[in-house]
Chains A and B, each alone.
Chain A
C-alpha cells in the first residue's frame, strides 16, 4: 500500500491529452514539492517534472505538472506512442521522515 495513490493504468489515443493523478496528505504533497518520473521497461527512471510544475531541460513541453492541496497531476498533451511508459510521483513525507513514491501508472497509447 503506497503512501501516494496513483491510478494503476491510464490510456489515450495519439494526439489526446491524458492526466495522471497522485493523491497524498498534508504531511507529503500538502507541504512538499512533487516530482514525476517516466520509466521504460528495463531502464532507470527519468525525471520529467520537478518542484511540482517545472520541466527539466530536454523534456518536451507536452508534459506538465500541477499541484493543488494534497493532490498533484501530470498532464501529457499531444499524446505520442513513445509516451507509453510507467509514470511515478514522489515527494518527501515530513511525518515519516522518508521519501515516498506512488504505486505507478502504466500509460498505454491506443
Chain B
C-alpha cells in the first residue's frame, strides 16, 4: 500500500524556520517527481514546490528563496526546509505525487499543519 506521511509541522514565530518531512512507502520513491502543496485555513490549494527524480527543484514564486525542497532516496523521504517564515505561510502542508506519467497529484498524504504566529 502506498503511503505518504508528513511530519514536522508546528507553531513558529514570524522569521523562524521549520523543516517538514514526508516519509513514503509502497512505491519506488527514487523514480518519481514529488511535490509539496499547501492549503491555508479556509482557503484553496497552492502548489509550493516540486522535485524531480533527478533532483531538479522548482518553486512557487511566493516561496522562492525562502524554502528549499530536497529528497533522500535512501530513506524514501522528501523534505521542505522553510525559513524566513511569514504569517501567510500558515497552512496544512501536503506531500503529493503522480503515480503514473499521466497523473499530476493523485497520491496525497494527510498533511501537517504549520502555524506562523507571534
The interface of chain A, by Cβ under 8 A from chain B, is 2, 33, 35, 37, 39, 44-47, 50-51, 54, 56, 86, 88, 90, 96-104
Contacts and interface: CB of A to CB of B under 8 A. Distances in A.
B89 to A, nearest CB: 17
Given A35-B105, A54-B102, A101 B61 contact: no
A45 B109 CA distance: 10
Interface residues of B, number: 21
Contacts of A51: 102
Across the A-B interface, the 7 shortest Cβ-Cβ residue pairs: A44-B108, A99-B47, A104-B44, A47-B106, A35-B104, A101-B45, A103-B44
B47 A98 contact: yes
Interface in B64-104: 94, 96, 102-104
Contacts of A35: 103-105
Contacts of B94: 44
Contact of B104 (A44, A97, A99, A103): A99
A79 to B, nearest CB: 22
B108 A45 contact: yes
The residue in A39, A47, A51, A99 that gathers the most chain B C-beta atoms within 10 A of its C-beta is A99
Given A2-B44, A90-B47, A98-B61, A44 B111 contact: yes
A104 B106 contact: no
B45 A90 contact: yes
Contacts of A46: 108
